[in-house]
Amino acid sequence: MRILAAGDHFVAPELFTRELTAEIGTGHSIGELRLDWPLTPFGPVSEVDEASGDEDTILSALEGAEVCVTQMGPVTAKVLDGAPDLRLVVVGRGGPVNVNLEAAKEHGVQVCNTPGRNAAATAEYTVGMMLAAMRRIPETSAALAAGRWAGEFYTYDNCGPGLDGASVGLIGCGAVGSRVARALGAFGATVLIHDPYADQDALREVGTPVAGLDELLRRSDVVSLHARLTPETRGMLGARELALLPEGAVVVNCARGALLDEDALCDGLESGRLAAAGLDVFAVEPPPPGSRLRTAPRLVMTPHLAGANTSVAHNAARIAAAEVGRFLRGEPLAHRVV
């Protein structure tokens, strides 16, 4: 069988190949393609979102392939039309947003993803972002690097709040949110959770479920987003919702940029009503040169790195290879979405 390992500079094609060989042996032809993400940001390609590369490049690499293992490669209707031998696509990420699922179904191509591959990494980063924003770590580090001992950050008005004793509201509590909740409990925070789709008894094991989003916001010193981006959740934290937060609250988003109204966030930071914010994701990535985010005070920003550590890359390749092994052995696929 011919397999295409379409990796990038995070989950490298040779990493896919190594895990595939460990899973299925050496009796198959594995071709490699390296896409340019994350050195070049992902974006829409034809009708799919968050893809890297172009249709013609991946089409050429897919010639004769029955299986494609990729993280960011665009699997569009055009690609599926031009790859008649293709039978399985395994996407090495939590959501197969780079695949046209309807077209895959029409072509009889099965599609799998690798859920949970970066849950631990994203949870760790989220807590780190809270601490960085609340304790003003980037500002103080920059001051010291510039040769200034910024003693004013030890004053009551400038030192920032802590997690011990704080009420932290989590919007969404799946694989990432539940890990964040457990970590926050160890810090001594009171964890409030709004997730109408989760089992409420399971939520009680890591925090206190709150039925209404408005109530959660009114009670939260810190609010952190962990929801999936859907038509219902897009812009779920806007000016009205941010105004419900207590004076001096902190907002953190390491989920999806479009969950949050960035202009409303900037309004809150510029007015001083919000104490700080931490963003790893943005409505447009990277934020354009004229974005207010670039000049907003007390805002910590990182370029969509929460899910990036070396363990995640190995997890993605390992989970993907296991799916290919199941496919070749005729076993049910563990993470099939189509």
Contact present, 216 and 172 (Cβ < 8 Å): no
Q: What are phi and psi of 52, to 5 degrees?
A: -130, 140
Does 331 participate in catalysis according to the annotation? no
Q: Which of 250, 248, 244 is nearest to 218 (CA)?
A: 244
Angle in degrees, 0-180, between the axes of helices 13-24 and 310-329, rounded to the nearest 10: 40
Does 124 participate in catalysis according to the annotation? no
3-state DSSP call for residue 195? coil
Q: How far is CA 265 from the centre of its chain?
A: 20
**Tally of CA atoms within 13 A in the half-sphere of 135 that contains its CB:** 11
Which one of 285, 292, 314, 336 is the catalytic residue? 285
Which one of 117, 194, 226, 256 is the catalytic residue? 256
Q: Which long-range contacts (CB under 8 A, 24 or more apart) does 232-241 make?
A: 233/259, 234/258, 234/259, 235/259, 235/260, 235/261, 236/171, 236/260, 237/171, 237/261, 237/264, 237/265, 238/264, 239/264, 239/267, 241/213, 241/214, 241/217
Q: How far is CA 300 from the centre of its chain?
A: 17
Does 329 participate in catalysis according to the annotation? no
Q: What are phi and psi of 327, to 5 degrees?
A: -60, -45
Q: Which secondary-structure segment (H or E) carries 222?
A: strand 222-225
Cα gap 194→236, rounded to integer Å: 13
Radius of gyration (C-alpha) of the chain in whole angstroms: 22
Structural tokens at position 105: 């179904």
Structural tokens at position 201: 């008894």
According to DSSP, the β-strands at 67-70 and 2-7 are parallel
Which one of 93, 219, 226, 304 is the catalytic residue? 304
Cα gap 218→338, rounded to integer Å: 40
Locate the DSSP E strands across 8-85: 29-34, 43-45, 48-51, 67-70
- Which residues are designated catalytic? 256, 285, 304
